[in-house]
Amino acid sequence: MPGYQHMSRRDFVQVVTAFLGTIMGAVIGLPAIGYLLSPALKGQKSDAWIPLGPLDNYPPDVPTPFSFTRSQVNGWEKTVNSYGGFIVRNGDEVLALSNICTHLSCRVVWKTEQALYICPCHDAAFFKDGTVASGPPPHPLEAYETKVEEGVLYVRFVEG
C-alpha cells in the first residue's frame, strides 16, 4: 500500500498512554483549580446602616472612638469581626473615620498629647480630620457615610 505509514506497537502505546494521561490529568486537574479557588470567588456582600447611639454621646471637637461587630459565615464557621474608628464633630459636620491605617491595615489610635492618630506599625501619623501628617500611608483615613435620625447617629457599612 503506497503512503501507508507503519506505526509500531511501541508508538501506539505511547500515543494512547499520553492521550489517556492527558484526559485523566484534566479530569482531576481542572476541578482541582475550582476546588482551591472557590471560597475566594464567592463574594460576600453587605450594606447596612449601623446605629452608634445618640449623637450627644459624642462630644464636639475630640475624636471619640466607636466600634461595632459584624458576623459572617466563612466556610464551616461564623466569624465575628470588629470594626471601629473615631467620630469627629466639627459644628454640624459629623465625620466617622475608620481606624484602618491606609498603609498596610494596622489600627490607628488617637493620641491626645500629640493631637494625632498614630499607627503603631510603621510610625504613621494622621491629623484629626484623617489627612496624612507623616509616614508611609498613601492617602487619608477612609470615612464612613453618616446620617442622624431622631438624634441617633448611624454609619453605613458597605462590603463586597
Partner 1 sequence: MFQKILAWLDERMGLTTIYHTVLDRKVPKVNWFFTLGSASLFLFLIQGITGIMLTVYYVPSPDHAYDSIQYIMNEVSFGWLIRGIHHWSASLMVLVVFLHMLRTFFYAAYKYPREFTWVTGVLLLLLTLGMGFTGYLLPWNQKAYWATTVGTSIAGAVPLIGPFINQVLRGGTELSAVTLARFFSVHIWWLPAAIAAIIGTHLYMVIRLGISAVPDKED
Please identify, using beta-carbon distances, which residue of 97 and 101 lies nearer to ligand FES: 101
Beta bridge partners of 79: 72
Q: Which of 97, 83, 91 is nearest to 129 (CA)?
A: 97
Please identify, using beta-carbon distances, which residue of 100 and 143 lies nearer to ligand FES: 100
Q: Which of 133, 160, 155 is nearest to 85 (CA)?
A: 155
Q: Give CA–CA dist 106/115, Å, rounded.
A: 19
Alpha carbon dihedral 33, 37, 39, 40, in 10-degree steps, equals: -170
Beta bridge partners of 155: 50, 146
Work out whether 40 is an interface residue with partner 1 (CB under 8 A): no
Minimum distance, C-beta of residue 30 to ligand FES, in the bound complex (Å): 39
Please identify, using beta-carbon distances, which residue of 42 and 45 lies nearer to partner 1: 42
Q: Out of ligand FES, partner 1, none, which partner does residue 45 contact, by CB within 5 to 8 A per kind?
A: none
Q: Which of 81, 85, 71, 79 is nearest to 153 (CA)?
A: 85
Of 50, 62, 118, 121, the one binding ligand FES by CB under 6 A: 121
CB 123 within 8 A of CB 135: yes
Instruction: Show contacts with partner 1 in window 76-95 (CB under 8 A).
Output: 76-77
Query: Which uninterrupted H or E stretch holds 39?
Result: helix 9-41
Of 136, 140, 143, 152, the one binding ligand FES by CB under 6 A: 136
Please identify, using beta-carbon distances, which residue of 50 and 121 lies nearer to ligand FES: 121
Q: Out of partner 1, ligand FES, none, which partner does residue 15 contact, by CB within 5 to 8 A per kind?
A: none
Of 19, 20, 26, 31, the one binding partner 1 by CB under 8 A: 31
